[in-house]
Each structure stands twice: as structure tokens, then as C-alpha cells.
Structure 1
């Protein structure tokens, strides 16, 4: 009987040791690896130089990232690059930020290198680039994805590197120059009284030829009285009538007088001739 109890104790002991070993080994087999902060390096010159500096020296549309050293097997490292427009050239003066775009990738031991491209989303004036170790887009869409705003930032504890800088945007043109532009060309038409001197000079220049014509006509009409009764005066001589009136000689009156004298002389001769014949007959 003692032998049976002894063999039973030995069997229970063996079972307990086996079960304990299985319990102790189970957690170690299923424990997730401790990945921690991603050991990331980046390059802004096409991979010629790599760094893990917290300050990005210059803005770049493409940033290459890679895992440095020997990454832990089974770990996924999310790396993102966000682009923002700001109101100042430094983090302290960045003010209100506007989300422009982002790019993200997942690095592993097998896929340890990649390129983040924000070519179409670079800031044109003041801006910020943030390289951080989370695959989340902080675009201000909700409370869990806020925009960066000094002194609070959503990248606390996961920010790998950042750049702040740029220049101020030029002021936007106002509408005042465009509204005043049409009024300037409208003023010249009001300053166009040039036709007035031209019209005022016409009456003074017109009468000057007429005195010259009238002064030359008396010279030609002074020799016309001898033949006044034989032909009709030309239009130019008709204008000379007032000049003859000034000397007291009227061509029409002279012609009538000459005709009357001729008639009287002829009548007188006829009477004398008739008288002589009568005296001869007697």
C-alpha cells in the first residue's frame, strides 16, 4: 500500500512540474516585441547625406527615410511628413496654421527605406514641415487630429524633425486701382476745345479775299465808258458800277443822252433842209 501511495506522489509531482513549465513558457512565447521609438534617419538631398537631426535644414518636396541600425523583427514603424502654411517663420511665431498635405509610410525590417513626397503641397510663404513617427494625419478634422498651434503640437513625443521658415506672402491687391483706372482716360475728352479757335478764325480769314477783288475791279471798269452802249457789261464790270457812280458818270444815262442828241441833230437838219427847198421853189 505504501508503494502505491509513493508511486502516486511521484506521478502528481511530475504532472505539477510539467504544468508549471508550460505556464511559465506560455507568456514568453506570445509576448509582443518592444518596438519603441522608430530609429529613423532622413535625407533631403536624394540620399547623399543622412541625418537624425531634430531640425530639417531646408524645405524639400521629397524626404527619404530609412531605419537605422538593426530594426527589431516584427515591428512596424509609421513615419509621416506633414506640410503646413503658417503666419510666421518660427515655431513661436507660426500662429494659425493651415494644413496643405501629407505623405506616410510604414517601415519594417524587410521594408526599411522609402520616400515621402509632398511636391504638390509645399508652402509658398511662411510654412512648416513636420516629420513624425505616427501614421495619423493632423489636419484639424477633429479633436483627435488637431492642427499644430504654438505652444501646443500634436506631435509631442513622436516628432522626429521639423522645419520652420519661408517669407511673407505679398499683400493682396485691392480693388481701388482698377476702379480709378477708367476715370483717368475719361478726363482728356473734356479738355478738347481745340475746334473753337479754328471756327473763330474762319470769319476773319474769309473776308480778306473780297476786298482784293473789289479793289482790282475799278481799274478795269474805268476804261469801259467808251464802249458802254455797244455791249453788255461782264459780271466783273457790273460790280464796278458803284465806283462809276462815285465819279458822277452813269453808262446808261450817257447812252440815252447821246441817242437823244443824235435825234435832235437829225431833226434839226431835216427842218433846215426842208426850209431851204421851200425857198428855192418860190
Structure 2
């Protein structure tokens, strides 16, 4: 039996040398606490009411968050709030999303409550607010931080709560065709002369010397110039007849003068 005992002790000793380090290493493997999903509650009314519901009741720009229950010592819980503009009022109709703003905090057992503020980046029309349990900013800048897009959300399955809603933006006014401005009409001074007559060159008076002859070669009738002296009309008598007439007229004048002289003398004698 002593030999059997010796063989048993040798086996136990060999097992202790091989299994001992592994047994001693087991507590070190569990030194890092298992934090898991952050046990977060949130409030949109300044801390009056707290919930862990999956639907944020209203699009509040400030969301208070806190760790619920007894947080695990040594764990850091990252909580973020992202604001997005969407193309629809629900997650299924959200379409293409546009990043507007983001806030993040780290909650611990000692710092178990904080406020996330995106009030300066709320959507004006259709939009989404996402409260999620990671510290990344999902703004679409790279493939590791994509924008939310139905049916995929980029928050690694750690979405705490979200809000979708809003109303459609009013259509942007489009500039219509511009009507040409009416030409400005300057009133012309009153005149009895038509415009064409005002612009035409004045017509010079036609004189007898400037009148052009007809193309047929026939002599044109003489026209009196406005400045020419009047021309006596010809009677058709020859020079002899004119001389006789002049002598007769002179004789009649002389006879008249003599009769008048005799008459004055007779009157003087009486």
C-alpha cells in the first residue's frame, strides 16, 4: 500500500503543478466588470417624469438622462442624442436624413445624471431625434459613422429611444418670369404739324429760273418768283398804235387844262 500511496501523491503533485496556474488566473479574467447595455432613463420635462420607453413623446431640444437602479462600479456608459432632418414623419418614411446636431455624455456610478442639449439644432419640418447608448457622432462623414436610413440604424443595436414626426416644409417660392417693364413715353410738345412733316426738310420756293423743264422738251409755263417784280401783261398792239394813243391822251390833257384856265379867268372878271 505504501507504493500505491507514493504513486498517488506523485499524481496529485503533478496535477497541482499543471492546474495551479490556471486556477489562479481565473479571478483575473473577471476583473473587468460586465457593463452591458446602459440602464438609462430619460426625461423631456425637466426631470418631472422619467421613462425608459422606446418612443420619445415630444421633440424636446433638451433631454435629461440618468442611470437607473444600482450602476455597476467601474463602468462607463456613453449616451448620445442626435438630431436629423428627414423626408417623412415616421421611421419607415424618413427617407434620406440630414445631420443637424449632436450631444453626448458619459455616465458612471459617480456621475449618474446629465443633460443632453440639441435645442439649437432641432428639425424645422420632418425630423428624427435618436437617443442611443454609444458615444459616436453619426453624421455621415465616413463609412464608420453613417446616417440613419430606414431600415438600418447605425447605433449598433443600442438605440434607447427615438422620436419621428413633424410636418412637411412649405414649398420654396419659385421666381416666375419677369414681365418686361413698360417703356416710358415722353410727351412731345403739342404741335399741329405731323411728325413726318417736322422731320422733313423745308421746301424752298420755286422760282422761274429754278423750274426744271419737262422731260418731253416742251417749254414749261413761266412761274413768277415770290421776289420778282410784277410783269405787265402784253396787249398785243404794235409800237405805232401805242404812239398814236399816247399823243391823243396828251392832247386831251392839254385841252382839259386850257378849259380849266379859261373858266378861272371868267370867274375873276365877274
Q: What CA distance in whole angstroms lies between the structure 2 residues aligned with 1:268 and 1:73? A: 174
| Cα offsets for 1:178-220 (capped at 9, x unmatched) | x23xx2x527x57x99x89x867xxxxxxxxxxxxxxxxxxxx
- What is the deviation of 1:35? 0.7
- Kindly indicate whether residue 55 of structure 2 is the aligned counterpart of residue 74 of structure 1: no
Paired position in structure 2 for 1:130: 130
Paired position in structure 2 for 1:186: 182
Shift of the 25–133 alpha-carbon distance from structure 1 to 2, 3 Å rule, reads same
Q: What CA distance in whole angstroms lies between the structure 2 residues aligned with 1:268 and 1:149? A: 149
Q: What CA distance in whole angstroms lies between the structure 2 residues aligned with 1:152 and 1:114? A: 28
Shift of the 268–153 alpha-carbon distance from structure 1 to 2, 3 Å rule, reads farther
Paired position in structure 2 for 1:64: 64
| Cα offsets for 1:20-76 (capped at 9, x unmatched) | 677534432452111111010111111111111100011011111000111000000
**Is the helix fraction higher in 1 or 2?**
1
Q: What CA distance in whole angstroms lies between the structure 2 residues aligned with 1:131 and 1:30? A: 32
The 5 A counterparts of 1:21-170 are 23-29=22-28, 31=30, 32-170=32-170
Q: What CA distance in whole angstroms lies between the structure 2 residues aligned with 1:162 and 1:186? A: 57
SS at 1:176 equivalent: coil
Q: What CA distance in whole angstroms lies between the structure 2 residues aligned with 1:69 and 1:199? A: 102
Which ranges in structure 1 are unaligned for 5 or more consecutive residues?
Answer: 201-265, 277-282
- What is the deviation of 1:156? 4.7
Q: What CA distance in whole angstroms lies between the structure 1 residues aligned with 2:262 and 2:139? A: 143
SS at 2:269 equivalent: helix
Q: What CA distance in whole angstroms lies between the structure 2 residues aligned with 1:85 and 1:65? A: 23
Q: What CA distance in whole angstroms lies between the structure 2 residues aligned with 1:79 and 1:29? A: 29
More displaced stretch, 109-118 vs 168-177: 168-177
Q: CA RMSD in A?
A: 3.3
In the alignment of these two chains, the number of paired residues is 196
| Cα offsets for 1:116-147 (capped at 9, x unmatched) | 11122111111100000011111112222111
| Cα offsets for 1:143-167 (capped at 9, x unmatched) | 2211111111112520000000011
Paired position in structure 2 for 1:247: none
- What is the deviation of 1:16? 8.2
Q: What CA distance in whole angstroms lies between the structure 2 residues aligned with 1:267 and 1:37? A: 164
